[in-house]
Structure 1
Amino acid sequence: MADDESTAKKIFTDVRVIVMLALVIFSILSIYVLPPAFDKGVEGNIQLGLDLQGGSWVQLSFQSEVVRFSSPTMSADALAQKIWDKAGIEAVAVSDDKIEIRKLLTQEEVENLFNEIGDVKLVAYTQGVSKETADDVKRILEDKVNNLGTQDAKINTISGSNNVATYIRIELAGTDISTAQDLVSSQGKFEIRIVTEGNETAHVLYGDSVTSVSRPSQSPPGSGSWGVAFTLSEDGAKALRDACIQYGATKEPEKHYLNMYLDGEQVYDAPLSSDLATKLLTGTVNDLRASTGMGDDGLEKAQVLEIHLRAGALPVDVTTAGLGSVSAQMGDYFKFVCIIAALLALGAVGVTVYLRYHEPSIVLPMLLTNIAELIILLGFSRYVQQLDLASIAGLIAVIGTGIDQLIVVTDEVLHEGKVPSPNVYLKRFKRALVIITVAAATVIFAMVPLILMDLSTLKGFAIITILGVLVGVIVTRPAYGKIIMAILSKKPAKEISSDSKDE
């Protein structure tokens, strides 16, 4: 009894074991208590993908192209302006020799347009959008999803090797196809109002008067002051001028704020600049700029404001390239199969370890450490990753790789069937940690491309696998080393079998 108490004391007073147990408790609290989620079943707060919960997915194709050109006299910005002047098609510069044409044209049509402009030659043609535009589209869709409270959503762009995004895929767990399509195509109600006096405001114009919205930029360039430029139609510019004159904003601009609302919620407010007020006294102004502040905070606010000014409209047209759904019943079936697969994996691991060592005091700590690792992973995934079938596959893979590394630790520290002296033990244990750290680094390097290559169906697998490797190397392997030392140090040599040999 005294030996058991001493062993337990050695285990539960070690800082590595305490850290592991603390993370297990934190993970359980995250899943079920922060916030309370006892009514959500076994998954608690864990976000389930549409594979496990049921839902819909929509894949959109961008109606645009990125082209490379050559011209001895014309810059990318100049060519974009020429395209607008010649054909009334919006185009933006991507790099010194690339532009994005925001209307779907065939390669032949682009060549004909360049011939009409003159002094420019088409070098390469790829349907899709630039990475910057794809990020804008993703941000706008994420904003829509968040505004509707649809948190269980995954939005991923699909790009080729030339960094041109061709598709964007939206997965909405618990959402039917009709709602998913409406979400993609819907626009909000955007309104600008002017402060008249006190807290009173008056309507100025709606979002249909905003004809174009530019990307966030610094003005002057390099100043660090961010903002969003936008253009009003003639009617919108006249409505703005009339309101500013009527309510005295041209005389006292600092007292008359322009407030912007999206679906009734205020998203921006700022007074007129004195320069704009002076210009409005003499005529209408179509080109406006909303300043959002300095530095990273100003950039973030500018990116959000750009979305609001567009009222949820995407910068390029899209068409549905594919859609589908998973029924809730099928999701329940997948959940059941995943649970069975995880239990079978744990059972198979337990039998394999027992056949190797024939010692329950080794098998039980290994399995409990593996289970602790899974709980920690599930707790972390509650914050960083939806659980879909690919993520579950990553969890099951972690069970196998985790046990493999625990076997490496066990074999390294055993010496003629028992734990050696503390100095030899530490030497062997450090050697084991070096081995599993190198193996972990190899796994991480193998998984990183799956995260970076826009393979949305495999990204969850890669993220969970990397998290599992990091949790194992940093937390559970060191804790297991202490546990196994405390347990095996009191065992006679004849009780334990191992293939390890002393140096």
Structure 2
Amino acid sequence: MSDEESTFKKIFKDWRVMVMMALIIFSLLSIYVIPPAFDKGIEGNLQLGLDLQGGSWIQISFQSEVARFSSDNMSASEVAEALSNEIGADVIVVSNDQVEIRKYYTEEELRQIFNDIGVKMVSYEQGVSKDTAEDIKRILEDKVNNLGTQDAKINTLSGINDVTSYIRVELAGTDINTAQDLVSSQGKFEIRIITEGNKTEHVLYGDSVTSVSTPSQSPAGSQNWGVGFTLDEVGAEAFREAAIKYGAVDDPKNHNLVMLLDGNVVYSAPLSDTLANKLMSGTVRDLSASTGTGEDALEEAQLLEIHLRAGALPVDVSIAGSGSVPAELGEYFKIVCIVAAILALIAVGITIYFRYREPSIVLPMMLTNVSEIIILLGIARYIQQLDLASIAGLIAVIGTGIDQLVVITDEVLHEGKVPSPNVYLKRFKRALGIITVSACTTIFAMLPLAMMDLSTLKGFAIITILGVLVGVIITRPAYGKIIMAILSKKPSK
């Protein structure tokens, strides 16, 4: 067996190297094969943010405020009840001395209202409590996910007092008008029935809708798109009574069912003959709203599904800011990022070559660095959207990764020679100790940014932390074994 064959055998039989190779293969499969994405270009299945794909962002504020109060004779629940009766709006207890008023008032107006009920207002902050913000975020996530917008980011922007003032929604691949319509919609869903002329009567609200199916063609095999939904018992009874009372079961064509979102009609159609006959004999809980045939009908069905599912936001919102990145600019940013990453790798390769002037050292370093980036992208494909800040994190990982490989190489080599195996392993463990301490400091420094909802900074921090963990746990130990096997042919010290 030749020296080269023996060296390769040593490398690929080591379990650390086998783990690294397995993760590289898994990452490539995740990016390009699961599911197949060869037609999507170099990015494959990676989730690209609006910086790289084009899209829109919306920042919304809340018509609500959180106030802290002081009272000697009223509890928080009593204060909330008194305020609700005074202003005719929902008031939620946040803590023993804090309430959330779900209606907009200036600080002066609200202070006077507190005085009217005999309570002193201590502080005022426009926004919502942390729990309400999470509810709003969940509802918005339901909306964008049901639209099929996978590349969406929703971040709450909160202060140190846990009052959320804004929510920022980023929708990659979505134009600004669609984004505004989707985000600003209050989701207050209602079904009414036409009585005479253009007059309508209330039938039920969205809280009677218990489940909604995805758009489908019904009956199976037809070209007719529709959305199925289910009513609770109360809603089904109200639906039947209204259909009979206003003549929809006898004359469906002149008594359309009208669905409204925030007072705007989102769907209008008569009862089918089959449904009208069923309602004559009893309640019907499983219904379907037909939108017609073709691509436009499918889009209408998708939007109707969102309206049926979303429910009502707990507070009114307004758009505080918005913007968009054209698709052409996103494509330009994508090319720039690829070029920047390639140039970074080339610069790193030249630097370490001039340091060691030994291809048997430079090549394993560069391959290990590239392997680390591939593994990192494979992990990020499942958990992190890639925007400009995330790409900056990837490029930073290239530099910090080489730094740590240099530490390992300098530690195990002495005067350009490889020591005996025992001495090598001691020096290698010492180098890993140094790298681990350095990695911990980086992780601790990035954790605050990763945990805060600071939009782009969060992506940078997450990618940096992932890169450090992949390096310390996987690629650094593998590199140590690779470099030991390759350089063991050199004369020992």
Shorter-chain TM-score bucket reads 0.7 to 0.9
Q: Which AA in structure 1 matches 2:116?
A: E
Question: Does residue 13 in structure 1 map to residue 7 in structure 2?
Answer: no
User: Structure 1 residues 481, 66: closer, same or farther in 2, change over 3 A?
Assistant: same
Matched with 1:165 is 164
For 1:260 and 1:88, how far apart are their aligned partners in 2? 36
Distance 1:257 1:76 in 2: 43
Supply the distance in 2 between the matched residues of 1:308 and 1:79 (Cα, whole angstroms).
Answer: 35
Distance 1:351 1:125, change over 3 A: same
Contact 2:184 2:317 in 1 (8 A): no
Alignment partners' CA distance in 1, 2:206 and 2:367: 61
Deviates further, 177-186 or 166-175: 177-186
Q: Paired residue for 1:207? A: 205
Return closer, same or farther for 1:259/1:236 CA change in 2, 3 Å cut-off: closer
Per the normalisation by structure 2, the TM-score is 0.78
Change (3 A) 1:259 1:429: farther
Equivalent AA in structure 2 for residue 108 of structure 1 = E
Report the counterpart of residue 449 of structure 1 in structure 2.
448
| Equivalent position amino acid for 2:134 in 1 | D
The aligned amino acid for 2:439 is A
Q: Distance in 1 between matches of 2:149 and 2:288?
A: 18
Q: Whole-Å Cα distance in 2 between the matches of residues 426 and 241 of structure 1?
A: 80
**Structure 1 pair 382/471, CA: closer, same or farther in 2 (3 Å)?**
same
Partner of 2:130: 131
**Counterpart residue number, 1:336:** 335
Superposed displacement of residue 484, structure 1: 0.4
2:84 aligned counterpart, secondary structure: helix
Tell me the distance in 1 between the aligned counterparts of 2:449 and 2:381: 21
| SS across alignment from 2:104 | coil
Aligned ranges 1:3-402 → 2 under 5 Å: 3-118=3-118, 120-186=119-185, 187=187, 205-207=203-205, 239=238, 311-402=310-401
Letter in 1 for 2:54: G
**What is the CA–CA distance in structure 2 between the aligned matches of 1:117 and 1:309, rounded to whole Å?**
39
| TM-aligned CA deviation for residue 415 of structure 1 | 2.9
**260 and 151 in structure 1: CA distance in 2 versus 1, 3 angstrom threshold:** farther
For the residue of structure 2 that corresponds to 1:451, the secondary structure is helix
Cα deviation for residue 207 of structure 1 reads 1.5
Residues 177 and 491 of structure 1: CA distance in aligned 2, closer, same or farther (over 3 Å): same
CA displacement at 1:417 relative to structure 2: 1.9
Tell me, yes or no, if the aligned pair for 1:386 and 1:460 is still in contact at 8 Å: yes
The CA distance in 1 between the partners of 2:236 and 2:97, in whole Å, is 35
- Summarize the Cα distance change of 1:70–1:412 in structure 2 as closer, same or farther, 3 Å threshold: same
**Secondary structure of the structure 2 residue equivalent to 1:428:** helix
User: Partner amino acid for 1:483?
Assistant: I
**Is the contact between residue 262 and residue 311 of structure 1 (CA under 8 Å) also seen in structure 2?**
no
TM-score by length of 1: 0.76
CA contact (8 A) 1:190 1:206 kept: yes
Q: Which runs of 5+ in 1 are unaligned?
A: 193-203, 211-231, 244-255, 265-306, 494-501
Tell me how far apart the structure 2 counterparts of residues 167 and 92 of structure 1 sit (CA, whole Å).
19
CA contact (8 A) 1:62 1:128 kept: yes
Where in structure 2 are there 5+ consecutive unaligned residues? 193-201, 209-231, 243-281, 291-305
- Separation of aligned partners in 2, 1:91 and 1:260: 35
Output the CA distance in 1 between the equivalents of 2:31 and 2:446. Answer: 26
Q: CA deviation at 1:75?
A: 1.6
The alignment partner of 2:460 has SS state of: helix
Instruction: Say whether the 8 Å CA contact 1:60–1:168 is kept in structure 2.
Output: yes
Q: Shift of the alpha carbon at 1:239?
A: 3.5
SS at match of 1:469: helix
Give the equivalent residue in structure 2 for 1:470: 469
Distance in 2 (CA, whole Å) between partners of 1:258 and 1:448 is 53
Secondary structure in 1 aligned to 2:23? helix
Displacement of 1:242 in angstroms is 6.9
Counterpart contact for 1:207–1:309, Cα < 8 Å? no
| Code of the aligned partner of 1:447 | M
> SS of 2:144's equivalent?
helix
1:219 maps to what in 2? Answer: none
Contact 1:61 1:167 in 2 (8 A): yes
Report the CA distance shift for 1:93/1:421 in structure 2 as closer, same or farther (over 3 A). same
Deviations 1:37-74 (A, max 9, x none): 11111000001000000000000011111110011121
- Where 1:103 maps in the other structure, the secondary structure is coil
Distance in 2, Cα, partners of 1:93 & 1:262? 39
Change (3 A) 1:482 1:312: same
- State whether residues 207 and 311 of structure 1, in contact with CA within 8 Å, keep that contact through their aligned partners in structure 2: no
Using the alignment, how far apart are the partners of 2:237 and 2:105 within structure 1?
A: 35
> Alignment partner of 1:362: what SS?
helix
Describe the superposition over 1:392-414 as per-residue Cα deviations: whole angstroms up to 9, x where unpaired. 00000000000000000111111
Distance in structure 1 (CA, Å) of the matches to 2:240 and 2:74: 37
2:206–2:308: 8 Å Cα contact kept in structure 1?
Answer: no
CA drift of 1:492 comes to 3.6
Is the 8 Å Cα contact of residues 236 and 283 (structure 2) preserved in structure 1? no
Whole-angstrom CA distance in 2 between matches of 1:23 and 1:190:
51
How much does 1:104 deviate?
Answer: 1.3
In the other structure, the counterpart of 1:283 is none
Aligned-partner Cα distance in 1 for 2:31–2:190: 38
Q: In 2, distance between residues paired with 1:262 and 1:20?
A: 51
Whether the 8 Å contact between 2:133 and 2:164 is mirrored in structure 1 is: yes
CA contact (8 A) 1:80 1:99 kept: yes
Q: Is the 8 A contact 1:349 1:403 kept in 2?
A: yes
Alignment correspondent of 1:224: none
Partners of 2:103 and 2:329 lie apart in 1 by: 39
Cα offset for 1:190?
6.5
Contact kept, 8 Å, 2:68 with 2:123, in 1: the verdict is: yes
Q: Does structure 2 retain, via aligned residues, the 8 Å contact 1:50–1:172? A: yes
Deviations 1:399-458 (A, max 9, x none): 000000000011111133222112111111110111000000000001011122221121
Report the Cα distance in structure 2 between the residues aligned to 1:83 and 1:427, rounded to whole angstroms.
70
Give deviations 1:357-408, integer Å, cap 9, x for gaps. Answer: 1101111000000000000011111100000000000000000000000000
Contact 1:191 1:262 in 2 (8 A): no
The amino acid of 1:477's aligned partner reads R
- Whether contact under 8 Å (2:237, 2:283) holds in the other structure is no
The alpha-carbon distance between structure 1 residues 209 and 334, as it changes in their structure 2 partners (threshold 3 A), is closer
Q: How many angstroms apart in 2 are the aligned matches of 1:459 and 1:260? A: 43
Q: State the Cα distance separating 1:310 from its structure 2 match.
A: 8.2
Q: How many residues align?
A: 407
Contact 2:236 2:284 in 1 (8 A): no
